[in-house]
Amino acid sequence: MLYLDRRAYTSGGIPRSAGGTRPAAAVASGLVAPLLTAWAPGRVNLIGEHTDYSGGLVLPAAIQLGVTVTVDALSDAVALTSTKLGPGEPFAPDGGGAPVGGWARYGQAVAAELAGLGRPPLGLTARIDSTVPAGAGLSSSAALEVGIALALCAAAAFELEPLQLALACQRAELRAVGVPCGILDQAACVLGRPDTAILLDCATLEHRQVPVPGEAALLVIDSGVERSLESSGYAQRRQELEHALRLAGTTRSTEVSLPQLEGLDPLSARRLRHVVSENRRVLDFAAAFEERDLAEAGRLLLASHTSLRDDYEVSIPELDLLVELACAAGAHGAQLLGGGFGGSVLALVDTARADEIASGVASRYRERSGRDGRSLTAHASAGASVQR
Ligand code: GAF
């Protein structure tokens, strides 16, 4: 049975000095300790791609890479500086005013969503450091949103339940860059637990933990083809699926069965067939992991990739090649990771063989595509948190 975890982020009171600010230079130089630090991880999704925005099932895990937001001082505005991208344009604590450009628009959108939930309009200055590669399908933008949201909430002693915060960040993604994403990435970020994947029903947000077997390594292999959901066919796929669901008479993909696809136009039938069969594979994969049956889990990953390639049409030749090479090198199975159209594949491999398989795939991929197939082993890790 799935259940809803009702942990709340407690923010406690952060004393605000009489002047309302502390000199950021003094904090950055180490003379004054930061007020607080928020951590928000990226994620892998083991299986269940393009199911979240139709109330389907997903099985993600938070990973060891993420975004750290270090709040140095309270202020009248929100001023964020990225160690990689430099200072972002400051914006009002309630996210109002003229839209800012560049990466800071994620922060402004998060602030606006939190203001709508009643966060007091306190500003801050903060440094942002990310170890999540952008465009690799590891949810760098969700980690950024959740990290900023946690920092803004904690700095204003404003409490939200983790999934409420995740939903605010999902809306912020749409507000900031117009991507109508589902809840997968932000939920994984707040719900992560060490050595654990999260089986999540995206319609009810009920979830339960699924242990990742110690002998299973989650190898993420980057195609080197950078993906941006803004410029991909992501929004179009969502529209196509919603059209197909309307024809089937529902908004929830878990309420559709395969025989109902008969009689739909071919495109609608293909899109819906992927999602309906993927929901089933998520449950079967969770059962296979619980039985430590990596061969079966790998078979499901391959079936998932085939469905994403042929029925949902979100793969590209480089991702198909990586899946083929990973399996030839000894992976139990592999599938594209996240939205597709670029980014990475996730290969399920024996822990003892992870390095050997990664280097074998990288050299064959270079020969066949002329690109580097950089890889990392993702470890299922703790979700977002705040430290003072
Ligand atoms: C991206 C989106 F942001 C998610 O909501 C999800 O739809 C995923 O693609 C595909 O499963 O990561």
CATH of the domain at 173: 3.30.230.10
Residue 1 belongs to some domain of the structure: no
Residues labelled as active-site residues: 185
Average pLDDT over the chain, rounded to an integer: 92
175 and 88 within one domain: yes
Q: Using an 8 Å Cβ cutoff, are 252 and 53 in contact?
A: no
Residue 288 belongs to some domain of the structure: yes
Spatial separation of the C-alpha atoms in residues 150 and 116, rounded to whole Å: 15
Position 297 confidence tier, pLDDT thresholds 50, 70, 90: very high
Write down the pLDDT at residue 245.
98
Write down the pLDDT at residue 31.
61
Q: Looking at the chain, which runs of residues are DSSP E strands?
A: 36-45, 57-58, 60-75, 78-82, 86-87, 123-130, 196-201, 207-211, 216-222, 333-336, 344-350, 375-378, 385-387
Write down the pLDDT at residue 228.
72
Predicted structure pTM score: 0.92
Write down the pLDDT at residue 12.
35
For residue range 173-227, list pLDDT tens digits in order.
999 999 999 999 999 999 999 999 999 999 999 999 999 999 999 999 999 998 7
| Greater pLDDT, 34 or 288 | 288
Regarding the beta carbon of 182 and ligand 1, being less than 6 Å apart is answered yes
216 and 198 within one domain: no
Q: Please check the confidence at residue 20 and state whether its pLDDT lies above 50.
A: no
Q: Please check the confidence at residue 74 and state whether its pLDDT lies above 50.
A: yes
Number of independent structural domains in the chain: 2
For residue range 322-379, list pLDDT tens digits in order.
999 999 999 999 999 999 999 999 999 999 999 999 999 999 999 999 999 899 999 9
Atom of ligand 1 nearest to the CA of 52: 7
Atom of ligand 1 nearest to the CA of 184: 5
Write down the pLDDT at residue 323.
98
Spatial separation of the C-alpha atoms in residues 12 and 359, rounded to whole Å: 47
47 and 196 within one domain: yes
Q: Please check the confidence at residue 13 and state whether its pLDDT lies above 90.
A: no
CATH number of the domain that 334 lies in? 3.30.70.890
Atom 3, ligand 1: residue with shortest CA distance: 181
Write down the pLDDT at residue 92.
98
Burial class (CB in 10 A: 0-12, 13-18, 19+), 387: exposed
236 and 201 within one domain: no
Regarding the beta carbon of 94 and ligand 1, being less than 6 Å apart is answered no
Segments forming the whole domain that contains residue 31: 6-206+382-387
Atom of ligand 1 nearest to the CA of 141: 3
Residue 217 belongs to some domain of the structure: yes
Write down the pLDDT at residue 6.
30
Regarding the beta carbon of 43 and ligand 1, being less than 6 Å apart is answered no
Q: Please check the confidence at residue 26 and state whether its pLDDT lies above 70.
A: no
Atom 12, ligand 1: residue with shortest CA distance: 338
For residue range 249-259, list pLDDT tens digits in order.
999 999 999 99
Provide the residue type at 149 as one letter. A
259 and 193 within one domain: no
270 and 195 within one domain: no
Q: Please check the confidence at residue 24 and state whether its pLDDT lies above 60.
A: no
Across the range 142-149, mean pLDDT stands at 98
Across the range 272-298, mean pLDDT stands at 98
143 and 32 within one domain: yes
Regarding the beta carbon of 312 and ligand 1, being less than 6 Å apart is answered no
